Amino acid sequence: MKRLIAVSLFLLTTSSNVHASFILAVNNQDFQVVNIFSDVDVFQIYVEIEGDLAPGIYNNPEIIRVQYQVVGVLTAGTPSGFTSFNLQRDISGEEFYLQGSSLSFEIAESAELSDGVQGDELIDNGTILTFNAREIDNGRFHPALFELYFDGTGRIQNSNNIVRQDPFLQVEFGAEYINDLSFIPEQTTLIVANNDNQPLPGNSNNNGSGVLSPLLLLTLLVLRHLLKNKNRHQMDLSRSTV
């Protein structure tokens, strides 16, 4: 219920639109996030999909718009050499696919759509949901690969940076960040009908700027990262004195 209210309020802040669509909406607050590599555990993904919400296979469906953001502090020695990043994208569905990205899921025939689509109402095809924001030939290091599995686990990590032109550096899956996810499938709403015909918010620019204040957010993340490392160090010292 809280999930549906949050998405509804999110959509009601924007102007109306006339096309039928539904929304894939997830963020880090929907999951328990465990850092495996780097400290990148703040993310949000919103995808507006053309058409009415209905059971069926959605393999690269018609997308109106994509917004997503991934933020965090990186482990030293990653291919990018960055200490932190705040990747924000706000693009059309056409550009999403042209850049090499993909989206896939399947809604079960038995799904009760009046309250949206929960994780246990998606069909297990190896994954129940894959959002791959891979970008080809632009040198970007941090686009997200977000996957969920039927057993209530998942993962978000950097996608592989496919390069066909020099001088861009190719980056493999998870070379920048990896996070394991866990959730309760029957209690986690992933997709909702856009009954009010509201588009995603923002300026629809190609760099997706303005979702959050990059300087403020990265400062807070760095401070949290330093505090986390300090606490770990203190725990190690306390163990060594026992």
Task: Return per-residue pLDDT of the chain as tens, 242 residues.
Answer: 545 544 544 444 444 445 799 999 999 999 999 999 999 999 999 999 999 999 999 999 999 999 999 999 999 999 989 999 999 999 999 999 999 999 999 999 999 999 999 999 999 999 999 999 999 888 789 999 999 999 999 999 999 987 777 666 788 999 999 999 999 999 999 999 987 776 665 543 333 333 444 444 444 454 455 555 545 544 454 444 44
What DSSP character marks residue 239?
H
Burial of 61 from C-beta contacts in 10 A (0-12 / 13-18 / 19+): middle
Each domain of the chain, given as residue ranges in start order, spans 2-213
pLDDT at 164: 76
The CA distances from residue 9 to 12, 129, 131, 191, 197, in Å, are 5, 24, 24, 15, 13
pLDDT at 213: 45
The residue behind tokens 């970008």 is 135
End-to-end CA distance of the chain: 47
Whether 65 contacts 14, CB under 8 Å: no
pLDDT at 239: 47
pLDDT at 145: 98
> Of 227, 212, 226, nearest to 70 (Cα)?
212
Torsion over CA: 212, 168, 171, 77 (sign): negative
What are 61's two structure tokens?
Answer: 């469906």
pLDDT at 241: 47
